[in-house]
Each structure stands twice: as structure tokens, then as C-alpha cells.
Amino acid sequence: MPYDLNPQPAPQHRPHRLAPRVRDRGGAGPTTAALTVLPAVMALAALTLAGCGGAGGPGAAPAPGNPEGAGATPSTAASGPSPTAGGDGAPAGRDVPAPSLDAKPAGPGGGPLAGKVVVIDPGHNPGNFRHPREISRLVDIGTNRKECDTTGTATDDGYTEAAFNLDVARRLRTLLEKQGATVRFTQDDDRPFGPCVDERARIGNRAAADAAVSIHADGSGSGNRGFHVIHPAPVERGAADTAKIVGPSRELAERIAGQFVRATGSAPAEYVGGGTGLHERGDLGGLNLSTVPKVFVECGNMRDAKDAALLKSSRWRQQAAQGIAEGISTYLRG
């Protein structure tokens, strides 16, 4: 994704590996309950890190990508989805068993997630590139004002982040609905552009979502590989007050990160988050303005050829959706 050239620094915390650490749903702090991250998953993460570009890529690691974005976006992103990209020709992820969520759909009101509401935010409307004026207007994100939205990034051969995000989001919806959850989208390519980042937060708030997840792919430099999950920093300024969601959102991030490793075989990014798979930020309106637990999942780096090959694989996208779904499910089931 496009980088935020002037990110507002978030409070820095000592990074944590994907380890048992669960916070109270009220955000009061850690509880004694253990996070469901299997030792085998941790061993896999340790093995796969060695094969990633991550911090070992050429040059110093760049600033993290900006899911809401400021500044220029790749020219390929403005051309719309490539007609040949995103198919099954690219190699899939490592063959790692993923938790199966392919059970038959639960009946009305049935399933382990019955009564739970999940808001899925597919980052960057595919039509944004047609509306540069509308998406460039500034909106209030609590800490400052920021662009309504961006086009997102793209692979070198033109597979857009917007197309990727929407595909994974739709797969994720299917998996969660099979578990009985009520799923709502912020957009489903059913509007010309947007919604803006502030409206995306309001959609989750109005739905009183039990969890809100924004799907993205990063636009870091070539050689930087892996995924990370962004969770909100403590922010209290203007319209932003994340005090009540910092703890639950961190738990949601940890759950998703652990299951994403297991389902896809991808390693946590080394170029951001220190290899934890987690990254706390206080400069994103979608998080700052949320009143419900919310995270952003950066599934991989579209500007790295190896990660891009995975992101363009329909099989790998299904694995990514599986990992995110299982992370949400374990979080909601407690």
C-alpha cells in the first residue's frame, strides 16, 4: 500500500511474539486464559521466517504501509483489476493443514457463532480510481484530518489490492456465515467509491459488531515479505477514544495472527512488528473512530514478487480467509 509519509507516532510498546496472552473484553488487562496458538504453529513461524525477505531484505526497512493512505499510489492501481491476474496459475501457499470451517451451513439461529455480528471491511472500493476528487477530500479521524480513502496498491502486473481485498472478504463472509454469524460489509463493490474511513468505522459502530476486520494487502518494498495484523493504540483526542477497545482488539489481532500462520504457512512480517505479526498504530481513522473491537489484516506485500504470487493464487486466498475466519471464531467463542 501507499506509505503514510508523515504518520503520527503511536505509543511504543515492547513487541510480543505470538504467545498466550488474552485480555479482558473490557480492556482491563491480561487474564489467565490462554490464547489458542499451538506450539506447532510457533515452530512453523520460526521456520518460515528464515525464508522471508522481511528485515533481511536490501536496505533499511521502510515505514509501514498505510491502509488508509496518503501520497501517490502505483499507476497500475488506477487501471482496475488485471483480467488475467488473481487466478489459479500462481503457486499456492505452503501445504499446511488449516482448521476446517467448511461444515454444512448451520440452520437459522444455529452454529457456534449464532448471535454474533461481524463487520468485514474490504479495504479500498474497486471504483475509487474513477473518483480521485471524492476520495481525496479530508475527513476527521480524531487525531487529525486525512484523505477519505485511496485506490490502494497493486502487484507489478496490475492485480489490484481492491480486487484482492474484496475476494478474500467474500470468502471470509461465506466461512463465517456457515458458523452462524451475521456478517455485514462496509462495501461490496455496490457503490461508486468509498466509503470514507470515518464512515467505515461508523458502520461497525452502528452494527454493534462483536468484531470488525478490515482486509488489506501491503505495498512495502520488494524483498519485504509476510503478513501483519494492525490493532489500535490508546488514542483519546477529538472524536477518537480507543480506551475500551484497545485490549479486546489486541486479543482479536493475536487470535487472527496465530491462525493465519497455521492456515497459510506464511510468516509474520519482519519489516514491521518485529516478527510478531502484530503492529499497534494510532494514525488510522478506521481504528481511532471505532467503538467496537477492530483490526486491519495486511495479508502480504503486493510489491514483492514472491508474496504477490501467493496473493494472486485463489487457493492461497482461500487459506487466508480460513485463517482469518478461525481467528475471529476463536476470539468470539472466548
Positions annotated as catalytic residues are 298
Between CA 154 and CA 74 the distance in angstroms is 7
Q: Please state the length of the chain.
A: 334
Q: What backbone torsions phi and psi does residue 67 show, to the nearest 5 degrees?
A: -60, -25
Sequence-distant (6+) residues with CB within 8 A of 50 are: none
Half-sphere exposure of 56 (CA within 13 A, CB side): 8
Q: What backbone torsions phi and psi does residue 184 show, to the nearest 5 degrees?
A: -125, 140
C-beta separation of 332 from 113 below 8 A: yes
Between CA 300 and CA 287 the distance in angstroms is 20
Element (H, E) at 264: helix 246-264
Between CA 22 and CA 42 the distance in angstroms is 17
Quick one: cell of 45?
513461524
